[in-house]
Chain A
Amino acid sequence: MRRLPGPHFSSVFFLTAGLAGQGLTEPTLFAQDLRVSAGTIEDRRTTGRFFAGLEIELKLTGDDLADAKAARVVLKKAVDETGRDLLPERKGDEDFKSVSGSDLKLSLKNPARGASAVKEISGEVQLFVPTRDPAAIVTVDRILSRMDKPIESPALKAQQIGVRLVSPKVYKAGAKKREAELDKEMEKHKEEVKKEAGDDKTAEALMALVKGFAGMMGDVGDNDLIIETKDDQKRILEVLVVGPKGDTIDSQGSMSSGDVRILKFSEKLPADAKLRFLLQTRKSVVAAPFALTNVPLP
C-alpha cells in the first residue's frame, strides 16, 4: 500500500502553517498481539539548516498484523538520557503507512551530542484493519458511466465523504483556471515560505518545486482516472480500481494534490470497473500502546 494520502503539494509548506487537518478518531479497539521494537536508527547532525534530526524505524511483529493494511504512530513522549525532550515542535507525519514496507519511522529532534541512549519513547501504534468494519470498505460500481457528476453513495455520504470523477477532457479544460488559482495561493503564502526557508533562493526553489509538481498534475492521459474528493475528516486511506470480480486493476502510479488524486492507466478501463474506497473508521483502527526504553544511539 502506498503512503496515504499521497504527496500533495500543500504538504511542502502549507502543513507548516498548521492548515492541514488531522485524521479522525480515537480508536476504541486494542491490539491483542502487537510488539514494537526499534530498527535502524539515524542521528543526522549538521551545522547546516536542513535535514537534521533523529530518525528511528519501528519494527512491528505479532498476530494483529495479519489483516492490517497500514499503521501509524502517535507519539506521546521521547526523551534522551540527558533529559532533552526529543518531540518535534511541529506535530510530525502521522499518516498511515504500509505495514509491509519499512517506512514506519519516527522523526525526532537530535538528542544531545553526549547522550548515548534515548531513555524513553512511548506512544501508540495504530493499525488500520479494514476487515474489522464493513463500513470501512465502500465500493462504487460502473465508474466509467459516472463521469463529471457527483457519485451518489449512501455509504460514502454516511461518512461525510463526497466524490466526483472528472473526465480527462473536463480536467484538461480546467488547467488554466487551476494554474491561476495556484499562482494566487503561492503569492498568498510567499512571505510565509520565505520565512520558513530562511532565504529567498531556497524559497524560490521550494516554490518552483511546487509549481513543477502542479505541472505534473496537469499531465493526464486519456485512460487516467481523476478522482475529486471532499473528505474533511481525512477518512479515505486508499482508493483502488477493481474488476467485476473484485480483483485489483493495478495502476501505473498515482499522484495527488489537495482534493484531487489521479490514478494512471495505460489502457482503457473496462466498462464494469469499480472503485473501492478503504476508509478509516472507529472500528477499523486498533491501537497498541508501546514504550521503548534505553534505545542505544549510534
Chain B
Amino acid sequence: MTGRIRRRKVVPFALLALAVTGLLAPASPPSKGAALAVSAGEVTDRRRNDNSFAGLEIELKLTGEASAGARGARALVEKAVDDTGRNLVKEKSGSSDFEKSAGDETPALKLELRNPARRAKVVREVSGQVEIFLPGRDPSAQVLAARFASQMDRPVAAPALKAAGAQVTVVSRKTYEAEKKKDAERRTKEAEGAGVAGAMANAFAGLFEGLFGDIGENDVLVRVEDKGKKVFSIDVVEAAGKPVAGMGSMKVGDFWILKLGEKLPADAGLRIYLLTPKALVSERFALKDVPLP
C-alpha cells in the first residue's frame, strides 16, 4: 500500500506576494525535495466495549532517500475514512510530537485513529502530512557545545541557538543542590503557614521530588528555555563527536535530565539539535484501501 508523494507547496501565494513587495525578509528556500515513500505497516484495531484504550493504529513506514538520516518524524492526519464512510479522525488529533529515531533506524510512526465500523473491510483513505527532521541538511540544525563542564551555569553561546530563540544552560551540581535546598526551605515555610493542608501538600511535593528531583551523580542537568519548541534533542558526545550511550532522558518543566550510567570524561561535549526550517521536510501522503485485520 504505497502512496506516492506530492511535494508540499511550502510558500503560499499570499506570502510570496508579501515578499515581493518587500514587506517580509526573504524566506528560506524550500528544502530540497527527495524521494520519500510512505506505506502502511502493521495495522491494529483494538476494539473494546468500555471504549478505554480503543482505537485503530496504523504504522507508517518511511522509505526512500529522504528517510535516511532522519532523527525524527511526525504525522498529521487530515483525512481518514473507512469503506462504510465512517470518519476515523480523532476529535482531538492536533499536531503530534516528533517520534525520535533509535540509533540509525528511521523513526517509527503510528497514526492513532478511531475504530472503523465492524463491517468495514478497508480504510478507504488515510491522508495527511509527514514531517521529517533531517539535521544533516542544515548546519544550523546542530550546535556543539564542546567541553561543557568548563561552561557550567552559563548559557551556551551559539548563533544558531540565538536565531532559534532558545537558551540552553548546563546546570552545575553546586547550583542544583543550592536551588534544591532553597526550594525545600520555601516549601516548608509555605506549609507552616498553611497548617495541615500545607503539610499534606508538602508531603506530596516531597514525593514528586523523589520521583523527578533525584539527579544521579553522572547525570547531566540542562535548563532549556525554548518557548518556540525548537530544541529537538540533546546528546552528550565524546571529544571526537561520538555520542555517549546514555540511559535516556526526562523533562521536568524547563529542565532536561540526561541519564548517564558512567562518569563523563572532562572533555565531553553536548550536541544540541534544532528544528530549523531547512532541516524540516514536509511531504503529503495518501494511502488507499488499507486492509483491516
Contacts and interface: CB of A to CB of B under 8 A. Distances in A.
Interface residues of A, number: 18
A42 B44 contact: no
A47 B118 contact: no
A295 to B, nearest CB: 9
Contact of B45 (A40, A41, A45): A45
A46 B49 CA distance: 18
A46 B118 contact: no
A40 B48 contact: yes
Contact of B44 (A40, A44, A298): A44
B33 interface: no
A116 B48 contact: no
A50 to B, nearest CB: 10
Contacts of B292: 45, 113
Nearest to B290: A47
A104 B119 CA distance: 29
A110 B47 CA distance: 11
B50 interface: yes
Interface residues of B, number: 18
A45 B291 contact: no
B293 A43 contact: no
A46 B42 CA distance: 7
B42 A48 contact: yes
Contacts of B54: 298
Contact of B118 (A40, A41, A48, A114): A114
A46 B48 contact: no
- B interface secondary structure, majority: loop
A296 interface: yes
A298 B121 contact: no
Contact of A40 (B42, B50, B121): B50
A40 B46 CA distance: 13
27 contacts: A40-B49, A42-B47, A42-B48, A43-B46, A44-B44, A44-B45, A44-B46, A44-B47, A45-B45, A45-B46, A45-B293, A46-B44, A46-B293, A47-B43, A47-B44, A47-B291, A47-B293, A48-B42, A52-B293, A113-B121, A113-B293, A114-B118, A116-B118, A296-B49, A297-B47, A298-B48, A298-B115
Interface of A: 40-48, 52, 110, 113-116, 296-298
Given A44-B45, A298-B54, A298-B115, 15 more contacts: A41-B48, A42-B48, A43-B46, A43-B47, A43-B48, A44-B47, A45-B45, A45-B46, A45-B47, A45-B292, A48-B42, A113-B119, A113-B292, A113-B293, A114-B119
